[in-house]
Amino acid sequence: MRNLTILGATGSVGRQALDLVARNPGRWQVEALTANSDAPGLAAAARAAGARFAAVADPAAWPALQAALAGSGIEAAAGPEAICEAARRPADIVVTAIVGAAGLAPTLAAVARGATLAIANKETLVCAGPVVTAAARASGSVLLPVDSEHNAVFQVFDHARPDRVSKIILTASGGPFRQMTRADMARVSVADACKHPVWSMGAKISVDSATLMNKGLELIEAHHLFPVGVDRLDVIVHPQSVVHSMVEYVDGSVLAQLGCPDMRIPLAYAMAWPERIATPVARLNLAEIGRLEFEAPDLDRIPCLRLAWDALRAGGSAPCILNAANEVAVAAFIAGQASFLDIDAIVSATLDRIAAGPVGCLDEVVAIDAAARAEATAQAAARA
């Protein structure tokens, strides 16, 4: 039995991780579960999973969590430091399913004690990839990707001979607006943007999928997880989301991982690694699907992917600025304070106004993230 902690247990990824825990009694003992503010949801999940510790980031949710856990014997805590405490508790595996750069400090807390991480929280790698990977090398922490594309690459990557890899090709569904003109995109609603054709996900990543920023963040994530160099990363649109990504080798062979689009496949792979366990996911029926389509992404129609690519090439603090501005812009769109097309405009203007420089440590990342959020907030207000 291995001890397991889930950071962001009440979200889309967190709930799917808990589903796997419930289906595999005796495999994992749940150590800690965390949430932002959904105290009733967290308490119910902690009771059902037999967790030892539950924490909410929002201090205002503390009384509700205490009340909901009364008599359960489950320890409860609140505040951002309590999320780090959850990450520091002795779990063999920590699933990082918090959305956004809010996951950075708890991720580093888990890495520092050498835990194995099943990483869904891509924004943490985007804003602080070098800091996280250096800390993992120092502590011996293993970083296992849960993001379906990176999990696919991980499964077919020759880890012993990365120099034999000529290209990593990330697939992108293209999102709900794949065939829409930019003029029509000006009028889309939050509900339209969150109606993903293939995946059911949290609101922020659904919007990121619609802008293709999700694929941009994933390029940066891939750069930190697989040491092949920026020029060997590529993106192809594949609307069916059956081929989850590919690795091309120097001899021209291309290895891919395929499966039905269900996050429980990559989650199970990372949570049980190095074992492979059964999941309830539907089997892939290629005869029924019939056709798999591929097309080049249109970087002019939706510029977020290009912005991310440029930030990756610029390096240093540019990806952190990109990520922070995107978090602010997407939150403004979800709150009805910005239009869909304002998102790339806000990110682009923020990148133009804050000069990128080198980043060496966590404090620098935190300062750059804060400065970029302030600038992006001003940019969003100017457009409102």
- Minimum gap (Å) between residue 162 Cβ and ligand NAD: 23
Is residue 14 near ligand NAD by the rule CB under 6 A?
A: yes
**Separation between Cα atoms, residue 87 and residue 115, nearest integer Å:** 9
Question: Is residue 123 part of the contact set for ligand NAD (CB under 6 A)?
Answer: yes
Contact 73, 48 (CB under 8 A): no
β-pair partners for 295 = 237
Instruction: Taking the CA atoms of 174, 334, 223 and 80 in sequence, report the sign of the dihedral they define.
Output: negative
Instruction: Report in angstroms the alpha-carbon separations of 201 from 119, 147, 193.
Output: 16, 12, 12
Q: Which stretch binds ligand NAD (CB under 6 A): 96-104, 271-279, 303-311, 321-329?
A: 96-104
The site that binds Mg ion (CB under 5 A) totals a number of residues, namely: 3
Site string for ligand NAD, 306-345 (x = CB under 6 A): ----------------------------------------
**Nearer to ligand NAD among residue 87 and residue 349 (C-beta):** 87
Please select the residue that binds ligand NAD; options are 18, 32, 57, 228, rule is CB under 6 A.
57
Measure the CA–CA gap between 216 and 224, rounded to whole angstroms.
Answer: 13
Residues 32-51 that bind ligand NAD (CB under 6 A): 35-36, 38
Q: Which does 369 bind (CB under 5 to 8 A by kind): Mg ion, ligand NAD, none?
A: none
CA atoms of 77 and 107, how far apart (whole Å): 18
Using CB under 5 A as the binding rule, whether residue 147 contacts Mg ion is answered as yes
C-beta separation of 197 from 176 below 8 A: yes
Measured distance CA(56)–CA(39) in Å, rounded: 7
CA 166 – CA 5 distance, rounded (Å): 36
CA 362, 330, 82, 44 torsion: positive or negative? negative
| Residue 202 touches ligand NAD, criterion: CB under 6 A | yes
Residue showing the smallest CB distance to ligand NAD in the complex:
11
Residue 98 interface partner, choices ligand NAD, Mg ion, none, CB cut-off 5-8 Å depending on type: ligand NAD
Least CB distance to Mg ion at residue 148 (A):
5
Smallest separation (angstroms) from ligand NAD to the CB of 36? 3
Q: Which H or E run includes 66? A: helix 62-69
Distance CA 198, CA 71 (A): 41
Contact map string, positions 140 to 169, toward ligand NAD, x by CB under 6 A: -------x----------------------
User: Is residue 102 involved in binding ligand NAD (CB under 6 A)?
Assistant: yes
Give the interface with ligand NAD as residue ranges (CB under 6 A).
8-14, 35-36, 38, 57, 83, 97-99, 102, 120-123, 147, 199, 201-202, 204-205, 263
